[in-house]
Amino acid sequence: MNVFGDLLSGFGTVLTPEYLLYAAIGVTLGTFVGVLPGIGPALTIALLLPVTFSLDDPIGTFIMFAGIYYGAMYGGSTTSILLNTPGESASVATAIEGYQMARRGRAKAALATAAIGSFVAGTISTLLLSLFAQPVAKLATTFRAADYFALALLAMVAVTALVGRSLVRGLLSLIFGLFLGVIGIDGLTGQARFTFGTMELLEGIDVVVVIVGLFAIGETLFVASRMHHLPEHVTPLESGAGNHKSWMSRDDWRRSWAPWLRGTAVGFPFGALPSGGADVPTFLSYTYEKHRSKNREQFGKGAIEGVAGPEAANNAAFSGVLVPLLTLGIPTSATAAVMLAAFQIFNLQPGPQLFDNSPELVWALIASLYVGNVLLLALNLPLIRVWVKVLQIPRPILYAGILVFATLGVYASTGSVNQVFIAYGIGVIGFGMRHFDFPIAPVILGLILGPMMELQFRRALVLSNGDLTVFVSRPLTAILLALVVVALLVPYLPRIVARLRGRPAESKRLTFAEDD
């Protein structure tokens, strides 16, 4: 009852012309940038952060961000289906079947099942978010510093262990992020760390600088190094005769609705758990649909279930990711980490207090998710021809433009050419990481969660007078730390099971995706 009252007042805030305009600008910008090949939601938000610097209205800004994020996801699926270049790992599963459908002249059906599936999943999962957010926030008020330390550790380790192909590479990425996080002046004592005597590093390395460096500059350098490998060919929407009239046939609907719901059911909880956002649930959904489907022989050749399920899971996971982000202040994916940075620009600290201190903002944000979903459905399919035009922007111009915006973004947010050079340096490292197959997402999480973790660790010790048992004396903390160990072991489960049964280990470790 209470929730619906709050939600209603959230809708009251959002459904004013001004905020509707913010939402519309957000979804349009997000779709536009998200459609651009190779750009995922994290980079979309990072590139568009400077746009918000002059806005002094946090509610409007976050309504816009929600729109940008959703738009980037919808746009990303368009690119995956028509161009087979997923901008983030969560769209990889969509690209597998979606591109095959497009090649067989069923592009419109693939786009429609992705968009409608996203709408269904987005709406259901936002409803779940509305119901769960407040209780979790209530629960979170009982969390202590030691619990936050354990949670942050769990989020970091889970992402590193579950995402990407090699644990050692993931750990090295994570450690690099942690290292970037300790650079600068220590918040509690004012001592400089790893500044090597330079003034520029005293303030630490800004998240925006790292994200722009790794995703925009690193990615563009990587693209430049292998221009030959890029697919340039945009699959046409229709192939010749017959397919013009409808988006989805009756049969398509019949085959899509169950995967949508199953995708939602997988996506939301996995998004809410510290397991790296949408990567794991999209692959789980894809695998499940592949094994369950009556049309199994169509998989790999354009099965509509393989688009419907993962797309729904992807969208549902976003609402799931918002649960720990809003209630605990803990980001569990690279994109959530960027959202957290956006919150911090407005001096807002997500966490249990957010629901008490700025209920208007929280509920307006949640309400804007419903609105954004509707807007996207209205925007996406009818305007598909516009987005196809965006896809056809020549690559050299596109990447030159991205680099200009990346430079602009760093310069506008820091006002310093030296910071621009730091971003370039990180970009070179990002290029090396892409080239040598290191995942990127753990760097961002290490950078964001590392300092948070250190602060809570030291705070816990100060409160307990330096007694280290504070981390195991409370059941909640101990359970969370045990889960960290479990997360590290999960990828090796198949092999451990095989060993226990006395068979030689033939299967590789469980993997789900690359980073985004």
Shortest reach from residue 494's CB to other proteins, in Å: 10
- Distance, in Å, from the CA atom of 93 to the CA atom of 85, rounded to the nearest integer, reads 11
Select the residue interacting with other proteins from 142, 233, 242, 385 (CB under 8 A): 233
Shortest reach from residue 367's CB to other proteins, in Å: 26
Select the residue interacting with other proteins from 11, 32, 222, 247 (CB under 8 A): 222
Taking CB under 8 A as the binding criterion, the range among 9-17, 67-75, 354-362, 398-406 that sits at the site for other proteins is: 398-406
| Residue 84 DSSP label | S
Residues of this chain, 299-338, that bind other proteins according to CB under 8 A: none
Partners of residue 192 on adjacent β-strands: 185
The verdict on 490 binding other proteins (CB under 8 A) reads no
Distances (CA, A) of 372 to 21, 227, 264, 294: 11, 35, 17, 34
- Distance, in Å, from the CA atom of 152 to the CA atom of 331, rounded to the nearest integer, reads 9
Taking CB under 8 A as the binding criterion, the range among 62-70, 89-97, 277-285, 421-429 that sits at the site for other proteins is: 421-429
Tokens 């397991």 map to which residue? 275
- Distance, in Å, from the CA atom of 158 to the CA atom of 163, rounded to the nearest integer, reads 8
The verdict on 458 binding other proteins (CB under 8 A) reads yes
Residues of this chain, 101-160, that bind other proteins according to CB under 8 A: none
Q: Using alpha carbons only, how large is the chain's radius of gyration in Å?
A: 22
Give me 283's structure tokens: 């692959």
The verdict on 500 binding other proteins (CB under 8 A) reads no
Select the residue interacting with other proteins from 225, 246, 357, 473 (CB under 8 A): 225
Shortest reach from residue 174's CB to other proteins, in Å: 9
Select the residue interacting with other proteins from 229, 294, 385, 501 (CB under 8 A): 229
The verdict on 420 binding other proteins (CB under 8 A) reads yes
The verdict on 21 binding other proteins (CB under 8 A) reads no
- Distance, in Å, from the CA atom of 61 to the CA atom of 342, rounded to the nearest integer, reads 9
Cα atoms in the Cβ-side hemisphere of radius 13 Å centred on 204: 18
Residue 233 vs 244, nearer CB to other proteins? 233
Residue 292 vs 435, nearer CB to other proteins? 435
Residues of this chain, 422-451, that bind other proteins according to CB under 8 A: 424, 427-428, 431, 435-437, 450
- How many other C-beta atoms are found inside a 10 Å radius of the C-beta of residue 436? 8
Give me 172's structure tokens: 């090295």
- How many other C-beta atoms are found inside a 10 Å radius of the C-beta of residue 105? 18
Give me 19's structure tokens: 């905020």
Residues of this chain, 29-58, that bind other proteins according to CB under 8 A: 50-51, 53-54
Residues of this chain, 162-201, that bind other proteins according to CB under 8 A: 165-166, 168-169, 171-172, 175-176, 178-179, 182, 186, 188-189, 191, 193-194, 196
Give me 291's structure tokens: 């094994």
- Distance, in Å, from the CA atom of 66 to the CA atom of 229, rounded to the nearest integer, reads 33
The verdict on 485 binding other proteins (CB under 8 A) reads no
- Distance, in Å, from the CA atom of 362 to the CA atom of 152, rounded to the nearest integer, reads 22
Residues of this chain, 337-396, that bind other proteins according to CB under 8 A: 394-396
Cα atoms in the Cβ-side hemisphere of radius 13 Å centred on 72: 26
The verdict on 226 binding other proteins (CB under 8 A) reads yes
